[in-house]
Amino acid sequence: MIGKYRNAISILLASNLIISTLSLFTTSASNSTLGIIIGLIINFLITLFGTILTVGQCSFYLNVACNQTYQFSDLFTGFKIHPDKTIITQLIIQLLTALPLLPAIGVILYSFQAYNIIVVFLVGCILFILGVGISWWISLRYSQVYYLLLDFPDYSAKELLRMSRELMKGNVGRLLYIQVSFIPLTLVGLLSFGVGLLLVQPYQNMTYTLFYLDLMQSNN
């Protein structure tokens, strides 16, 4: 990343600025039931839009890592390469990661009407912790989808998800270790009022990109 931080920071700031600006439409929704529903829908659409920008960021880091030409416009690559596939894969991943949490949510809601509310609530909390763990594991299995979309744009969403699962076989622990190893740096970045994150996040994103390239090389 030496000599490339300016470009990486520019893309990071632009992405955050776009999402923050769009989020203003969510906060402007009224407090009525209809307003809340509209706000949730807008927030959901913003999340999908942000995912397409994430593909663009992946494109930038892939170009840097592979010594290809990179530029600020890489941020919008996701809008050029089958954004529909990005949205479909994101929806599927969100659904799969949400399912493990449903039993816990159901138990916790039931606990407010149960006789032994404390016991049932504790069971719900335990199920919630387990659900979060399973959801995290699922998200790790599909973490390579957006890189794969850039390298294999003609593949269907189903094929991209399958390829990510195959790449991550035996590698989930490696990626988990990488994510955990960035926690101290992230905390330091937060303590600097977020300024340090401008250096940490590009470094983190490049690490994830190199991890993907290593997976691809190991499977060739």
Convert the pLDDT of each residue in 141-153 to its tens digit.
999 999 999 999 9
Where are the domains positioned within the chain?
1-80, 83-169, 173-220
DSSP state of 72: G
Residue where the block lists tokens 């599927």:
92
For 204-220, what is the mean pLDDT? Answer: 92
Rounded to the nearest 10 degrees, the angle between the axes of helix 33-65 and helix 83-98 is 120
Convert the pLDDT of each residue in 179-207 to its tens digit.
999 999 999 888 887 788 888 999 999 99
DSSP string for residues in 180-192: HHTHHHHHHHHHT
Convert the pLDDT of each residue in 69-82 to its tens digit.
999 999 999 999 88
CB 108 within 8 A of CB 125: yes
CB 78 within 8 A of CB 86: yes
CB 155 within 8 A of CB 148: yes
Sorting pLDDT into bands at 50, 70 and 90, what band is 2? confident
Whether this prediction's pTM lies above 0.75 is answered by yes
Provide the terminal-to-terminal Cα distance of the chain, rounded to the nearest Å. 26
CA distance 15 to 104: 34
Q: Give the per-residue SS3 of 195-208.
A: CCHHHHHHHHHHHH
64's enclosing H/E stretch is helix 33-65
167's enclosing H/E stretch is helix 157-167
CA distance 22 to 53: 13
Q: What share of the chain is helix, strand, coil (3-state, %, to 5)?
A: 80, 0, 20
Structure tokens at 126: 């335990």
Residue 191's Cβ-side half-sphere holds a number of Cα atoms within 13 Å equal to 6
Instruction: Give the pLDDT score at 143.
Output: 95
